[in-house]
Structure 1
Amino acid sequence: MTFALTADNAAHVFDLALDPQSVLDIRDAIFRNVNLAPGSAIPSDGDPRIDRALPGFLFTCGPDHIRHPEPVEGAPDGRRYPLHGSYSSHPAKDILIEEDENEAVCSARVRTDLANGETAELARRWHADRVTGDIRLDDSVTNTGNGPWPPVAMYHMNINTRLFDDRTKLTGAMLPGGELPWRFADGDVSIFCVPAGDAATDGWAEIAIGPIASLGGRSLHVKFRVDTLPYLQVWRNQSPGCHVMGIEPVSNRLASRAELIAAGEMPDFAPGESVDYALAFSVR
């Protein structure tokens, strides 16, 4: 399924290919004929769900787990939460597309079976402003199971770093000194996670990566709600065959589940309760 955005101003042309077989995440994100997604230039952790998701421009972690596998609390059979949680490979249902000359909207629902035996439902809404070129995602996650569990979320926005050059940098108020070179730190692989709440304006934080020469010197700008996504994680991988950076708004700091639960940073929500997340991006 292709969700196309063509703005009135020729400077804003974004074509998004959404994946109805995996949470309506974004496969390709093509701006003025340049695909920002990394495609095959990604690592493999051996999980076929994530091998399908990671080549795309955006995939969603959660709602029961983020990051790498860890044991399911209290499970007698030694079950583990899967890599990046249970969302990936869950199909979208009730897909509805509405559009006119000013905007396009794609909404859907995703019923998710969780690793802890519970269930959740994601109500997802993509909105494209055809005048400004801005793309916004609004998610609402509801506990549809029989018991409480702690919701978590991470949005992996993956970019092909072969598009970058020595002028490209990360810019954002949450970063040390306000900016970092895109090849931050030494080595082929690096990751950091920083609080973003103090960098917010009207409840939203923003980070940019650019300039990107193939986008006409423009930058990719990413905004996210900090009430439920209070951290920003950034990951890059330039190991042999890999050319990818992830800009990742996330609900929790970089720590184990046991540490986060013990610190009260992963509170449960009860059956019937919901939690909302939102992010937006544009090229300008």
Structure 2
Amino acid sequence: MAEPAGFRIPFARGGTGDRAFNRAFGGFLNTCGFEHIRQPADGHPLHGSAPFTPARLNSYGEDWNTAEPLLYCEGELVVWTFGGSGHRLHRRIEAPIGGSTLRIVDTVEVVGPDPAPIMALYHFNLGHPLHQEGTKISLDGVVVAGPLPRHEPAPSQPTLHTASPGRAVCRVGGGGPIVAFHWSSDTLPWLQLWRDLRPGCGVLSVEPCSIASSEDGRNTSAPLIEPGRSLRFEIEVILAEAVPHLLPDNVP
């Protein structure tokens, strides 16, 4: 019989001051949550227990019998602690054939015995050539960061920006390739930005997230979700240079 905890790896565990996230920092996307996001607090690790938890691949393939033929894969992971909270993530990734879009559709369910919050932060890492001298980041047509220099002497403090109701659009670019992020602000009403442009780091992070942060950097409160209930998160990543008609004309 499979235990509720699912697959486990040694560093995917909680603990006061735990910064396991920094020991495996990398890749295009780190999914953060679901009992906690942001800095370690109240016994929760940096960005929660979900990052780097092993997942089970359930299916993959191609679907030509739709209006939009696509490649897809589906999988799930479980983050569970005896005596604590439990969450199950079901993820579907779609890539329309011949297109320039990557679509992520997540359903996060509370699987523990008690009500629990569902917090989510999608930590996208962008480097060269998306970041270069003069790169700008806009949210719903308004520049919220930049033009950025090539290097900075120290990491920035995270900044938080409110997305427009309905469908949010974040665009990153400046003189080279452009990428756009589209998501539903019903469940991800915030955009957090962070960067470390020191030589040898050079990372620019775009982070749609479900809750805000207070002045001291801690999470604001999140509603409790009953066991068996879930939240749905959807994000599209678009190579905007290839499909400019998908972006509003007023996005700088």
Asked if 1:252 is matched to 2:211, the reply is yes
- Which amino acid in the other structure matches residue 220 of structure 2? L
Q: How does 1:103-122 map to 2 (within 5 A)?
A: 103-114=70-81, 117-122=84-89
Q: Report if the CA contact (8 A) 1:122-1:139 is conserved.
A: yes
Provide closer, same or farther for how the CA distance between residues 169 and 91 of structure 1 changes in structure 2, counting only shifts above 3 A. Answer: same
Match for 1:51 among 2, 5, 23?
A: 23
Equivalent residue of 2:84, what SS? coil
* Alpha-carbon offset, residue 218 of structure 1: 2.7
Instruction: Tell me the residue number matched to 1:275.
Output: 231
Asked if 1:68 is matched to 2:28, the reply is no
Q: How does 1:1-284 map to 2 (within 5 A)?
A: 47-52=19-24, 54-71=25-42, 80-100=43-63, 102-114=69-81, 117-161=84-128, 164-173=131-140, 175=142, 180-183=146-149, 188-190=154-156, 191-196=158-163, 198=164, 200=165, 203-211=166-174, 217-255=176-214, 260-261=220-221, 266-283=222-239, 284=241
- Which amino acid in the other structure matches residue 161 of structure 2? V
Question: Which protein is richer in helix relative to its size?
Answer: 1
Residue identity (%): 29
| Aligned pairs, number | 221
Question: Which TM-score applies when normalising by structure 1?
Answer: 0.69
Instruction: For structure 2, list consecutive stretches of 5 or more residues without a partner in the other structure.
Output: 1-6, 10-16, 242-252
Measure, in 2, the Cα distance between the counterparts of 1:162 and 1:46. 32
Measure, in 2, the Cα distance between the counterparts of 1:247 and 1:96. 29
Measure, in 2, the Cα distance between the counterparts of 1:239 and 1:193. 21
Measure, in 1, the Cα distance between the counterparts of 2:82 and 2:194. 25
Q: Report if the CA contact (8 A) 1:207-1:223 is conserved.
A: yes
Q: Report if the CA contact (8 A) 1:61-1:156 is conserved.
A: yes
Question: Which TM-score applies when normalising by structure 2?
Answer: 0.77
Instruction: For structure 1, list consecutive stretches of 5 or more residues without a partner in the other structure.
Output: 1-19, 23-44, 72-79
- State the Cα RMSD in Å: 2.9
Provide closer, same or farther for how the CA distance between residues 117 and 174 of structure 1 changes in structure 2, counting only shifts above 3 A. Answer: farther
Q: Report if the CA contact (8 A) 2:74-2:90 is conserved.
A: yes
